[in-house]
Structure 1
Amino acid sequence: MSSEPGAIHSFFPVVVNVATGLATLEPELEDVLRSLGASRLDILKKVGLPRSLPYFFASLKVAVTLAFVGSVISETVASNLGIGYLMMSASATMNMPLVFAGLFVIGAMGVVMYELFARLERRLTGWATRGQNAAL
């Protein structure tokens, strides 16, 4: 599968959510850190980026599904390789089991990637969740 269309579809949700996460930093906290001698880069590295990680992973889980959809659509339109092209050529010859097999593979890849990022999120941002599932 080509990566360019998937990267284009995935870029903006991630950027918007990370910017939202950075914007949630309280001005009072930033003032306290500045009064303690922290530079803007220190505040970004030590507080801003860790606070935006839950937003990053939330958008990443959405973006990975958009990447698969974008890649398959681009393969159906302008490619002679990949799962999208395979599904289009199979539908032209009325080979519906192959079309549904392609759909199943795309769905399985999406679920596996979503779960991979969900586990990575739990591992890296376990401090951001509350309740009993935080330790998992």
Structure 2
Amino acid sequence: MTIKILLPVDGSACSLRAVDHLLAHAAWFAEVPEVHLLHVHPPIPIGRVQAHIGKDTLHGYYLEEGQASLLEAQKKLDAAGRFHTTHIHVGQPAEVIAHVATELACDLIIMGTHGQSALAGVLTGSVAARVLHLAPCPVLLVK
């Protein structure tokens, strides 16, 4: 049975350390794990924004930002010869991470403890702590 690992990244140094941790500890797994690299972009308030830029432009923005946030993690996995599938979603990060882990039937989530926005974490609560609460599988947090 192949182990499925969800690796949420936001481009931050901490999320890239989670990628490094997975690569450094690949021997923990009897078989090569199935790696799902995920970026979740918090939604932009739609109200007035969409009246000015349109749905297609907003979708393009989310896609471009998501690809940019995944790039360094993809480079690390590619350099190590680790095949991975990428996913880009828009929504509340912790909820989306837990939802994707459930949908993909992941066995493990490996993620950094802190993301891009330290201030947002202080104001709204840590994404990592919320994932621990919502996740359907074990979560490995990397400092």
State TM-score, norm by structure 2.
Answer: 0.27
Q: Which has the higher strand share?
A: 2
Q: Which has the higher helix share?
A: 1
Greater length-normalized contact order (CA 8 Å, ≥ 6 residues apart): 2
State TM-score, norm by structure 1.
Answer: 0.28
Return the index of the structure with the highest Cα Rg.
Answer: 1
